[in-house]
Amino acid sequence: MTGGVAAADFRDGGVFGEQPGSDGGWAEEKELFRRWLAASMLASASQTTYLERAGAYLGWLKAAGAENLDALSSQTGRDRAVAAYLTHLDVERGLASSTHNVSLAALDSYYTWRGVGETAGGGGKRDPGCASDVDCLAAQPVSG
């Protein structure tokens, strides 16, 4: 896929996350999250996608280092990190709106499972008519 991101790019961390064997503890957490997802009403394919997206996000967090230390433990850190991650994917990787929205849903599930709760928008769902969040924001009227 030229200029964009294919779903396969998320598998096992893919181009966004960790390489096999360097998961930084994700393997154990992934299994626990997988079990939680299995008990949900999500289709099997959605469960697999959510695991892939959560793994890719954790790989990105690890690469980002100290700037996101509180991303897994506080609501403020969570919201800041998720917004930065989605912006990174949108701007640098050219995600389609549907991929952006699935990533957000996956991260909401991951954070719910962790006990931190859903994101407070995390960049929100993106309108399919916008090429990126930046384009959507530029198209909105200024209030006030």
pLDDT digits (tens, 9 = 90+) for 37-88: 999 999 999 999 999 999 999 999 988 877 778 898 899 999 999 999 999 8
**66, 134, 121, 100: CA torsion to nearest 10:** -90
Look up the pTM and report it. Answer: 0.70
Taking only the tens place, the pLDDT of each residue in 23-35 is: 556 788 899 999 9
The amino acid sitting at 27 is A
> How many CA within 13 A on the CB side of residue 5?
26
Does the pLDDT of residue 138 top 90, yes or no?
A: no
What pLDDT is recorded for position 24? 58
